[in-house]
Every structure is written in structure tokens, then in C-alpha cells.
Amino acid sequence: MTATVAPADVVTLGCRLNLAESESIRAMLADAGTPTVVVNSCAVTAEAVRQSRRAVRRLRRSHPQARLVVTGCAATIEPDSFSAMPEVDAVVPNAAKADPRVWHPNGEEAPSRQRQSEVHTRAFVPVQTGCDHACTFCIIPQGRGRSLSTPVADVLRVIERHLLLGVNEIVLTGVDVTGWGAELPDAPRLGVLVRAILDAFPSLPRLRLSSLDGVEIDGLLFEIITGEARVMPHVHLSLQSGDDMVLKRMKRRHSRAQAVALTDALRAARPDIAIGADLIAGFPTETEAMHAGNLAIVRDCGVVHGHVFPYSPRPDTPAARMPQVAPATVRARAAEIRAAVAAERARWLASLVGLPREVLAERDGTGHSPEFAPYRLPEGTAAGTIVTLTPTRIIEGMLA
């Protein structure tokens, strides 16, 4: 896990939902009047919490006179421990981070400015937060609460503002994005929201979805992902493991066979689709044979975008009470899975050489194709524009 600083007033750790919320915080801080720096923390693993603490100390050293505030999941789950840090001036729980008043020491609601397009070439739009599931390894429901969905009309208003600012790609984010709509009237599925966005904004060039739970992909959403050119051919799945027993002990709701069948169906309907996956290495009770299933799922699902997490126990979760795998073994297994993903990714990137692709230009001289393949851009390419590139080689893991 890495921390993102852009600019230095907010440090973001963890998921895309945190990244989207950080943009809102940054906009609210623009009118705060008092120099304020924020750590938007993560609690997905014990290492994420440690990194959040390190970010607090680092930010205090670089901003000794500023008001330092910690928010996010780690701060919500462990408020007392973060409040006790001498570097911290205030802790803001997730439930309050969208309230402009908490970012102003005088408690007044100052106007905020939309600055997302000044920082990113794509806009991350939260459509859901919280989670109603009970995966045995996960602490996030304690930090985010139950699933809450943003109504369609509210999502459309946010997207409209971004498009007026010239953003060319919208990314829908959430804790459990495919759980969107469950508690809304008539319990619409995510496909309904995606269809509404595409219909409302026919000029929207690119719509991307963040991590999806495969068992929640409804029929309409599958049709849109595989048949709508403006929805990017890039599906990141919350797989977590490639072994059925481990999946049961995690309390995941899919089997290995279902995961493979889903990726096979996606490719059959849209051959250029790129598959990403979250995978946990060294889950409690995991044997060598179970680990082999994790390695094999990378190949069987064709995972080219991998988020590989070495398991670390989180207090107050059922998995923390299960028989643990030795830390050195966990690290070694994570390295093996990362190597397997790297091999799949290398083959995939090689297959894109010589093929023209529309690439969204970033501000650092790189860009991404619809499949989220990384590209080096020709010098002088304007950030935020979409350019057609035909790569001739691969340089340091990027098409060029």
C-alpha cells in the first residue's frame, strides 16, 4: 500500500473511495483560513494502520505549524489511539468527514470550491459506502457502517459538475459498489445506475467501475460492461482467494468455479476486457495446496491487474482467532502470487504492442488505455486529453 499526496494538504491511504473523499476534503479546506493538513487513513490491514501512523508523523515533520487532522477508517476504528498521538490535533470519523464545518476551526460552514479537475484527469465519484457483509478477515464495516447508496439523481448531479469542468473519465467508487441500491426504494441494482449515467450523459467518453463483487453483477450490468463501448473493458474483482475452503472460511459468497466462469463469460462477450483482482496470501489455516489454488486462479482468470495483500490479523475479526500462518510464509506466498500476476501482465502488455488504443493522458507524462494498460506519452501531450497511440515496445512495464 502506498500513500498519495496531491497536493501536500491531504495524504490519502487505501481505496478509491478514500481518494474521492479526499478531493472533497481538499475543496473544503480551500476556504478554511487556518493551515490544515489531513491524513485520510486506511484500516484494511494492520500494515495499513501502521502506514497511517507513519504518515501522521511524516506530515507533522513537514508541516510543524499546521493543524493536523486524521480521518478515515483507521481513525474511525481506533479514535483514542490516534487522538493520543502528540502530532494529532483532531480526529474526524468517517461519518463526519463530508461535513464542511468540521474542517473549519470556528465551526462555520464556509463555501467550498470544486478542484478535482485541477488535480486529476479523471473524477472519482462515490456512489455507495459501508458494507452489509461479514467477511471474517475484514474490519472495514466497523469503520464505514452499513451499506448506504447515493440516489441516482444525486450521482448525476455530481457527474454533471465534473463534466462541466472537462473531466473525460468518471470512476464509480464505493466500499461495496455492486451493493449499490439494496436499501433504496425498489432495491435497484448497479446496472440501473450505470444505465442512467450513460443515458443522461451521451457525451461522456469513459465510465470506469472500481472493485466489483462478482456474485452481485446483475444481468443488466453484465450486458453494459460487455456491450457498451463507453464503459471501460476493465473489471476488478474482489476474489480474495482461489481455494474453495479458504473462501468458505472467509465467508465469501462465491466459489472458485464461479469466479472462473464469470471471467470466461466476460472475455467471451468482450475479448479485450482486462481482469483485475484482490487476492489475500496466507489466510489463516491456508495450506500449501490452498496456496497453490491462489496461484492457479491468477492464470485461470487471467489476472493482469493484481492487488495482493499479505494477510495480517485485525483485532475483533473472526479470522484473527483462527490458526495463523507463519509471517515469513505469508510474505513468501504473497511474493509468489505477485510474481504470477507479473507474468500474466507481461504477456498481456506484449499482446498490446502494435495495436492502436485511445489513451487518457495523465499529468506526469503517462496515460492509460481503456483496459487500464499504462503508456508513456509523447512529449507535449496535454493532460486530460484522449489520444490514439500505437505502441512499438515496452519500457519498464509501460507501453511506448
pLDDT tens for 69-113 read 999 999 999 999 999 999 999 999 998 888 888 887 665 544 444
Contact assessment for residue 68 and residue 59, using Cβ atoms and an 8 Å cutoff = yes
Band (pLDDT 50/70/90 cuts) for residue 348 is very high
The closest of 94, 69, 98, 95 to 83, measured between CA atoms, is 69
Q: Give which of 265, 297, 291 is closest to 278, Cα–Cα.
A: 297
Q: What percent of the chain has pLDDT over 70?
A: 94
**Chain centre distance of CA 197:** 20
Residue-wise pLDDT tens digits, 137-176? 998 888 888 999 999 999 999 999 999 989 999 999 999 9
Give the pLDDT confidence score for residue 141 in this predicted structure.
85
Q: Which of 47-61, 93-107, 321-335 has the lowest mean pLDDT?
A: 93-107
Confidence of residue 17 (pLDDT cuts 50, 70, 90): confident
On the question of pLDDT at 7 being above 60, the answer is: no
**Residue 32 pLDDT:** 66
CA separation for the pair 213, 210 (Å, rounded): 10
Average pLDDT in the 270-295 region? 98
Confidence (pTM): 0.86
Residues whose CB is less than 8 angstroms from the CB of residue 150 and which lie 6 or more positions away in sequence, other chains included: 126, 127, 128, 180
Give me the residues paired with residue 36 across strands: 67
Q: What is the mean pLDDT of residues 210-215?
A: 95
| pLDDT averaged over every residue in the chain | 91
Is the pLDDT assigned to residue 379 strictly greater than 70?
A: yes
The full set of domains in the chain, from first to last, is: 4-103 (3.40.50.12160), 116-352 (3.80.30.20), 357-399 (no CATH)
Percent of the residues in the chain that have a pLDDT greater than 90, as a whole number: 78
Dihedral angle computed from the Cα positions of residues 60, 63, 66 and 69, in that order, rounded to the nearest 10 degrees: -40
pLDDT at 190 over 50: yes
Note the pLDDT of residue 106: 61
Q: 3-state SS of the chain?
A: CCCEECCCCEEECCCHHHHHHHHHHHHHHCCCCCCEEEEEECCCCHHHHHHHHHHHHHHHHHCCCCEEEEEEHHHHHCHHHHHCCCCCCEECCHHHCCCHHHHCCCCCCCCCCCCHHHHCCCEEEECEECCCCCCCCCCHHHHHCCCEECCHHHHHHHHHHHHHCCCCEEEEECCCHHHCCCCCCCCCCHHHHHHHHHHHCCCCCEEEECCECHHHCCHHHHHHHHHCCCECCEEEEEEECCCHHHHHHHCCCCCHHHHHHHHHHHHHHCCCCEEEEEEEECCCCCCHHHHHHHHHHHHHHCEEEEEEEECCCCCCCHHHHCCCCCHHHHHHHHHHHHHHHHHHHHHHHHHHCCCCEEEEECCCCEEECCCCCEEECCCCCCCCCEEEECCCCEECCEEC
Tell me how far apart the terminal alpha carbons of the chain are, to the nearest angstrom.
Answer: 26
Highest mean pLDDT out of 49-58, 163-172, 273-282: 273-282
> Is 39's pLDDT higher than 50?
yes
Backbone angles phi, psi at 322, to 5 degrees: -85, 160
**What would the grid cell of residue 139 be?**
474490519
Give the pairing type, strands 303-310 and 148-149: unpaired
Question: Would you say 70 and 91 are in contact if contact means Cβ atoms under 8 Å apart?
Answer: yes
